[in-house]
Amino acid sequence: MTESLFARPRIRISGDRAFLVEYGDAIDERINEKVRAMTELLRKASPEGVDLILPAYRSIGIMYDPLKTSHHKICAILNDLEAHMGEMVIPEPRTVDIPVCYGGQYGPDIEFVAAHNHLSVDEVIRIHTAGPYRIYTIGFAPGFFYLGGLDPQLHTPRMETPRTMVPAGSVGIAETQTGAYPLDSPGGWRVIGRTPIKLFDAGRKDPFLYQAGDSIRFKAISPEEYERMAKGENI
Amino acid sequence: MTEMFLVHSPGPYTTVQDNGRFGYVHMGVPVSGALDEFAYTCANLLVGNTENRPALEITFTGPHLEAMGDADIALTGADMDFTINGEAAGQWRTIRVKQGDSLHINPAHTGCRSYLAVTGGILVPEVMGSCSTYVSGKIGGISGRAIRTDDMLARGEGEPLKKSRQMPWFPLYAPDIHVRAVPGPQEEYFRQGMDIFFSEPYTVTDKANRMGYRLEGPEVFREAGAPQSIISEPSIHGNVQVPPDGRPIVLMAEQTVGGYAKIATVITPDLFRIAQARPGDRIRFHRVTLEEAHGMYNQWVTCKKDIHHFLQTEINS
């Protein structure tokens, strides 16, 4: 799975104050490790004129002030930092448990996912909670994680007609991906359960519970536990 | 806290915006902020605020507001027939309002968004480092939403100006819009499509909001063999993405990650022209190199500094 890691990063210009640095052309743990390591090194180095550092699956987006620096200068710094990759100790990724009440009113599509894959509902839950799933990147909506590693036994097509409203906390499957909705939003994922915890809460000291590079493990809970946790909301 | 405006009617989409929320883009929280950063900044300078005080961003047509106290205000951006107590009030200049004044901001003749700044700025709590309203995320501004009838808007601390200020010039917004763009990030997906994109006009559809502007026009072809989508990557205000249907979408301020290939990126000094584009307007994209774009960026920053300086000197009375 490592043949797609580039020998030298590829630079893509994204307008007059941003560019992308690509480290490979696949969704792959090793490429993502490199993205994470270079993001950490660049954040520590905090070069003059760099405004934002945005890690994704296989690339880093860098926004800069063209009056203070240039993409050539930043690329030279990245090149120097590569030499320090070996010395760099990447913090061990955390595993964050997300409690999920599967099926019933919280997971209206779990029977569909089971039938589509010739499984029982209990098997769907068992496979989905096996995890853990790596967070490759966060984006699209606050706290929306893109996870790797959904078991092929659970791959299920999106809904033909998306729902106009999927409640916040819903956990679903779309094709080869699994994920969760941090906010109420329209969407076409097959919803198999819901978490009572708030994935994004601007009022909380830390609005987010995880970051890119961490892993997510889904833990099955009963409807009673769901109700209790939804009321208490202490995490 | 000083009560400033009582909202009698809100307009279709009026939100509190500042220059954006930059700390959490890597967590999926978009920058947001005033789409037309130039008009927003001028509005603040015209009332003597530091450049970044929350103002109202008004879309297509404006609210009806009642002044609850005395202060300076300025309305910039789209040309919106602004009246106070029924009298034409003018834009791009300082106006003193008094308690009880009735402000009407009417449908735009040209442009799409106007900015109403007030002495001290609109007072709302800062959320995650910014006062900008991000409606889909329900954060910032007034309870994370557009303003409503009966909202009471407060203003921050600040003294009215001794002399009123007026812009030496201001942009005019026309239905034929020209913007400059740098090819990329995925220029090699679109060799033939690139020539079409940079030679034909594209019409703004009614699917145009703070997330993005869908355009209609000649199909932008992808090269044979170029994939329909890419591995999701960070997106930037001004990126022009092309989904499989070949109809370009200009990404705006409420977008963080995207999985469609991007043919080009509108340069920073021209982003306000997109922000002021209305459905039915035609946009022509002109190709520039990154080096040319940086020269233009430099001129743009100089021009903004000149305006800043001009508005703060005594000559301008």
Task: Kindly report, residue by residue over B54-71, the tens digit of the pLDDT.
Answer: 999 999 998 999 999 999
- The answer to whether residues B106 and B147 belong to one domain is yes
- Using an 8 Å CB-CB cutoff, list chain A residues near B239: 14-15
Of the pLDDT bands very low, low, confident and very high (cuts 50, 70, 90), residue B147 is very high
Of the listed ranges A89-93, B133-137, B236-240, the one predicted with least confidence: A89-93
Verify whether the Cβ–Cβ distance A13 to B265 is below 8 Å: yes
| Residue B296: per-residue pLDDT | 98
**pTM to 2 decimals?**
0.93
Do B263 and B257 meet the contact criterion of CB atoms below 8 Å apart?
Answer: no
Would you say residue B110 lies in a domain?
Answer: yes
Q: Is the pLDDT of residue B314 over 70?
A: no
**DSSP run (H or E) holding B236:** none
Of the pLDDT bands very low, low, confident and very high (cuts 50, 70, 90), residue A223 is very high
Instruction: Give whole-number Cα distances, A88 to A47, A48, A79, in Å.
Output: 18, 22, 15
Mean pLDDT of chain A: 92
Contacts of B309 (CB under 8 A, 6+ apart): none
Of the pLDDT bands very low, low, confident and very high (cuts 50, 70, 90), residue A234 is low
Would you say residue B75 lies in a domain?
Answer: yes
**Average pLDDT, integer, range A92-105:** 94
The domain of B126 spans 2-155
Q: What percent of chain A has pLDDT above 70?
A: 97
What is the spatial distance between Cα B191 and Cα B74, in angstroms, rounded to a whole number?
A: 46
Would you say residue B186 lies in a domain?
Answer: yes
- The answer to whether residues B220 and B107 belong to one domain is no
How many domains does chain B fold into? 2
Verify whether the Cβ–Cβ distance B137 to A12 is below 8 Å: no
Verify whether the Cβ–Cβ distance A208 to B185 is below 8 Å: no
**Average pLDDT, integer, range B160-175:** 94
- The answer to whether residues B189 and B134 belong to one domain is no
Q: List, for residues A157-188, the tens digit of each pLDDT value.
A: 988 888 888 999 999 998 888 999 999 988 88
Q: Supply angle C-alpha A143, A145, A148, rounded to 5.
A: 165
Verify whether the Cβ–Cβ distance A54 to B183 is below 8 Å: no
Mean pLDDT of chain B: 95
| Residue B79: per-residue pLDDT | 96
Within 10 A of B67 (CB to CB), how many other CB atoms are there?
21
- Using an 8 Å CB-CB cutoff, list chain B residues near A12: 184-186
Q: Give how far B265 is from chain A: nearest CA, Å.
A: 5
For the record, the structure tokens of A31 come out as: 């490429």
Would you say residue B308 lies in a domain?
Answer: no
What is the spatial distance between Cα B77 and Cα B105, in angstroms, rounded to a whole number?
A: 12
Instruction: Name the residue of chain A whose CA is nearest to B140's CA.
Output: A202
Verify whether the Cβ–Cβ distance A139 to B294 is below 8 Å: no
Would you say residue B307 lies in a domain?
Answer: no
| Residue B259: per-residue pLDDT | 84
- The answer to whether residues B147 and B245 belong to one domain is no
Contacts of B246 (CB under 8 A, 6+ apart): B193, B219, B220, B221, B222
- The answer to whether residues B149 and B6 belong to one domain is yes
Per-window interface: B 271-300 vs A, CB < 8 A: 290, 293-294, 296-298
Output A121 or A28, whichever has higher pLDDT. A121
Do B160 and B72 meet the contact criterion of CB atoms below 8 Å apart?
Answer: yes
Q: Give how far B274 is from chain A: nearest CA, Å.
A: 15
* Residue of B19, B21, B25, B26 to mutate for A, most A C-beta atoms under 10 A: B26
Cβ–Cβ contact B128 with A under 8 A? yes
- The answer to whether residues B210 and B240 belong to one domain is yes
Of the pLDDT bands very low, low, confident and very high (cuts 50, 70, 90), residue A83 is confident
Q: Give how far A55 is from chain B: nearest CA, Å.
A: 7
What is the spatial distance between Cα A30 and Cα A85, in angstroms, rounded to a whole number?
A: 13
Q: List, for residues A111-160, the tens digit of each pLDDT value.
A: 999 999 999 999 999 999 998 999 999 998 999 998 988 999 999 998 88
Per-window interface: B 217-236 vs A, CB < 8 A: 231-234, 236
Q: List, for residues B84-94, the tens digit of each pLDDT value.
A: 999 999 999 99
- The answer to whether residues B107 and B216 belong to one domain is no
What is the spatial distance between Cα B248 and Cα B218, in angstroms, rounded to a whole number?
A: 10
Tell me which amino acid residue A223 is.
P
CATH class (in words) of the domain with range A95-230: mainly beta
Q: Is the pLDDT of residue A89 over 80?
A: no
Q: Give how far A9 is from chain B: nearest CA, Å.
A: 14
Q: Which of B155, B190, B208 is the last residue of a domain?
A: B155
Would you say residue B310 lies in a domain?
Answer: no
- The answer to whether residues B109 and B182 belong to one domain is no
CATH class (in words) of the domain with range A3-87: alpha beta
| Residue B165: per-residue pLDDT | 95
- Using an 8 Å CB-CB cutoff, list chain B residues near A211: 27
* Residue of A16, A31, A138, A158 to mutate for B, most B C-beta atoms under 10 A: A16
- The answer to whether residues B110 and B188 belong to one domain is no
Output A140 or B12, whichever has higher pLDDT. B12
Q: Is the pLDDT of residue B315 over 60?
A: no
| Residue A182: per-residue pLDDT | 94
Packing angle, helices B37-46 and B290-311, rounded to 10: 20
> What are phi and psi for residue B75, nearest 5 degrees?
-115, 120
Q: Which residues of chain A form CATH 2.40.100.10?
A: 95-230
Would you say residue B119 lies in a domain?
Answer: yes
A70-81 CB burial, b ≥16 within 10 A, e <16: bbeebeebbeeb
Query: What is the per-residue DSSP string for A21-43?
Result: EEEESS--HHHHHHHHHHHHHHH
- The answer to whether residues B126 and B228 belong to one domain is no
Report the SS3 class of residue A95. Answer: strand
Of the pLDDT bands very low, low, confident and very high (cuts 50, 70, 90), residue A88 is confident
Per-window interface: B 35-94 vs A, CB < 8 A: none
| Residue A1: per-residue pLDDT | 46
> What are phi and psi for residue B274, nearest 5 degrees?
-70, -45
- The answer to whether residues B245 and B142 belong to one domain is no
Do B7 and B65 meet the contact criterion of CB atoms below 8 Å apart?
Answer: yes
Q: List, for residues B195-243, the tens digit of each pLDDT value.
A: 999 999 999 999 999 999 999 999 999 998 888 788 889 999 999 999 9
Q: Give how far B255 is from chain A: nearest CA, Å.
A: 7
Q: Which residues of chain A form CATH 3.30.1360.40?
A: 3-87
B257-261's contacts with Cβ under 8 Å and 24+ in sequence apart are: B257/A56, B257/A137, B257/A139, B257/A140, B257/B28, B257/B232, B257/B233, B258/B232, B258/B233, B259/B229, B259/B230, B259/B231, B259/B232, B259/B233, B260/B229, B260/B230, B261/B186, B261/B189, B261/B190, B261/B222, B261/B226, B261/B227, B261/B229, B261/B230
Of the pLDDT bands very low, low, confident and very high (cuts 50, 70, 90), residue B317 is very low
- Look up tokens 């769901």; give the residue: A226
Would you say residue B315 lies in a domain?
Answer: no
Question: Dihedral through CA B301, CA B269, CA B146, CA B93, nearest 10?
Answer: 60
* Helix spans in chain B (H): 37-46, 191-197, 271-275, 290-311
- The answer to whether residues B123 and B196 belong to one domain is no
